[in-house]
């Protein structure tokens, strides 16, 4: 099934024409942003230099930390009054990354979700429970409006309260769910413990964190769904950027929306089809916040073979990161954010270690940080109070509950070369 068959199956030459037109428009629009005016000037590139889509390579990359420099509205290409919604996502340090949407942006985004959901056979006969955060996280509202657009019956159940989630799936005859794969695993286990089944369920959409084929098999068996991988990031609207079709062999990325390159993250060299590297995207339809060659940090490759479904070129499922970003329970965390928080607290030192484990299929992050000698006055409550303060400060910034262990001053490893402060013990998911 297609939502927009013409666009979804554009022939390569038509697609290239459309991409070029939109790339030029994006360049023009980016020139409204001071950051890009400077970048383009430094790179010595002008509008008149863009003749083919490959000319995108003349343009400089945009990194996540660049967006931080523009906080809050430095990357807006339109007046704020044209912005109808703001989302945020984790920044590398301190302030979050701000993402703004015009009315057209929201429509374009919902259109993408509509394509994706139609592609996997969902439509107005379906009842859809959206079990992700509905706040600043783009997964909630993003899927919500796309699902409404195709006429699904949408239950904005958001996160938490697994008992209630199970009850709603049963009572409302839910046919499709969207959540992180780890939450789906948790849901399946709780249901199993309680001998609950979900006869109405047929489709599971899982995203926001990487997951394996063995996890897919397990989720399908336990929940009785066909499981689809969903990919996106807030800087490129949110979820919906790429999605699996019924073949479930790679993700269809929407080339009329996104100009895709794969690069060697060390050298910036552009790689060919089949070569694994960092996904770099120039969004072609973003109005409020156009981006140029945005480095997603996600590692994938362009698949060489076409797809039986007839849609455009796929990318492989994401296999990792080219930077040190962590995905904890679907939330993006940069070690630099943790460092920033700890540096702001005089009670603790600036050495720290981060451990990530998976307990009952949910990610747990624990942080060890050294006590500052000056703040220990001999009482246990000195320590517990500081511990609570660190937990709260981290939660405020990361929007994530962590466990914090205070350790003795001088006891954590000191790194001479590249610090290895993060120990991920989750294994393959």
- By CB under 8 A, name the binding residues for another protein: 371, 373, 376-380, 383-384, 387, 403, 405-411
Cα–Cα nearest to 107, from 156, 152, 146: 146
Query: Which of 263, 367 has the CB closer to another protein?
Result: 367
For another protein, the closer CB: 18 or 383? 383
Q: How far is the CB of 354 from another protein (least distance, A)?
A: 15
Min separation Cβ 352 and another protein, Å: 14
Token readout for 85 is 């919604």
| Residue among 418, 396, 420, 391 at smallest CA distance from 406 | 391
Taking the C-alpha atoms of residue 54 and residue 291, their distance in angstroms, rounded to an integer, is: 16
Query: Rounded to the nearest whole angstrom, what is the least distance from the CB of residue 394 to another protein in the complex?
Result: 15
Least Å from the CB of residue 389 to another protein: 14
Nearer to another protein, 148 or 364 (CB): 364
Report the distance separating Cα 310 and Cα 316, nearest Å.
Answer: 17
Q: Rounded to 5 degrees, what angle do the CA atoms 274, 229, 309 make?
A: 65
Distance in Å, CB of 395 to another protein, minimum: 16
Joined tokens for residue 303: 């698949």
- Distance of alpha carbon 294 from alpha carbon 281, whole angstroms: 5
Least Å distance between CB 404 and another protein? 9
| Gap between the Cα atoms of 273 and 427, Å rounded | 28
Three-class secondary structure of residue 429 per DSSP: coil
Query: Which is closer to another protein, CB of 51 or CB of 377?
Result: 377
Q: Is 236 exposed, middle or buried (0-12, 13-18, 19+ CB in 10 A)?
A: buried
Nearer to another protein by Cβ, of 21 and 373: the residue is 373
Q: How far apart are CA 269 and CA 278, in angstroms?
A: 10
In sequence order, which ranges of 78-180 are alpha helices (DSSP H)?
A: 103-119, 138-149, 162-171
Looking up tokens 């703004």 gives 100
103 versus 405: smaller Cβ distance to another protein: 405
Peptide bond preceding 275 in cis form (omega within 30 of 0): no
214 or 411: CB nearest another protein? 411
Residue 374 Cβ, how far from another protein at the closest point, in Å?
9
319 or 411: whose CB is closer to another protein? 411
Q: How far is the CB of 383 from another protein (least distance, A)?
A: 6
Rg (CA), the chain: 22
CB 401, min distance to another protein, A? 14
Around 203, how many Cα atoms within 13 Å sit in the side-chain half-sphere? 26
The H-or-E segment that residue 250 falls in is: none
CB of 403 to another protein, least distance (A): 8
Q: Which tokens hold the place of 293?
A: 């060659």
**Shorter beta-carbon distance to another protein: residue 167 or 408:** 408
d(CA 40, CA 50): 12
Q: What is the enclosing helix (H) or strand (E) of 98?
A: strand 97-102
**Three-state secondary structure call for residue 355:** strand
The two tokens of residue 42 are 């430094």
Q: Which is nearer to another protein, 209 or 370 (CB)?
A: 370
């Amino acid at each position: 099934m297609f939502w927009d068959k013409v666009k979804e199956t554009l022939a390569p030459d038509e697609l290239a024409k459309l991409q070029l037109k939109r790339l030029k428009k994006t360049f023009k629009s980016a020139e409204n942003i001071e950051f890009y005016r400077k970048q383009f000037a430094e790179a010595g590139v002008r509008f008149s230099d863009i003749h083919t889509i490959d000319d995108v390579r003349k343009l400089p990359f945009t990194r996540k930390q660049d967006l931080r420099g523009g906080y809050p509205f430095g990357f807006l290409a339109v007046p704020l009054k044209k912005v109808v919604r703001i989302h945020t996502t984790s920044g590398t340090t301190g302030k979050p990354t701000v993402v703004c949407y015009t009315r057209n942006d929201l429509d374009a985004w919902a259109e993408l979700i509509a394509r994706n959901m139609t592609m996997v056979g969902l439509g107005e006969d379906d009842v859809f429970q959206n079990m992700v955060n509905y706040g600043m996280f783009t997964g909630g509202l993003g899927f919500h409006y796309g699902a409404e657009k195709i006429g699904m019956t949408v239950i904005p159940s958001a996160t938490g309260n697994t008992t209630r989630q199970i009850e709603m799936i049963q009572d409302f005859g839910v046919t499709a769910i969207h959540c992180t794969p780890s939450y789906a695993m948790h849901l399946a286990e709780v249901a199993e413990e309680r001998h609950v089944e979900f006869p109405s369920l047929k489709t599971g959409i899982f995203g926001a964190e990487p997951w394996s084929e063995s996890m897919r098999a397990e989720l399908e068996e336990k929940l009785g769904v066909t499981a689809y991988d969903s990919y996106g990031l807030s800087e490129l609207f949110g979820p919906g950027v790429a999605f699996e079709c019924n073949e479930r062999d790679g993700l269809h990325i929407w080339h009329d929306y996104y100009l895709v390159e794969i690069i060697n993250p060390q050298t910036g060299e552009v790689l060919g089809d089949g070569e694994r590297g960092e996904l770099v995207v120039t969004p072609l339809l973003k109005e409020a916040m156009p981006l140029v060659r945005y480095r997603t940090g996600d590692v994938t490759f362009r698949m060489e073979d076409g797809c039986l479904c007839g849609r455009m070129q796929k990318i492989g499922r994401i296999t990792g990161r080219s930077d040190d970003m962590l995905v904890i329970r679907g939330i993006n965390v940069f070690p630099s954010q943790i460092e920033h928080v700890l540096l702001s607290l005089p009670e603790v030192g600036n050495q720290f270690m981060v451990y990530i484990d998976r307990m009952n299929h949910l990610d747990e992050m624990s942080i060890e940080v050294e006590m500052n000698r000056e703040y220990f006055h001999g009482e246990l409550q000195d320590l517990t109070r500081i511990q609570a303060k660190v937990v709260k400060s981290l939660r405020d910034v990361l929007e994530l509950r962590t466990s914090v262990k205070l350790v003795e001053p001088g006891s954590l490893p000191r790194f001479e070369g590249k610090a290895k402060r993060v120990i991920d013990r989750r294994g393959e998911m």
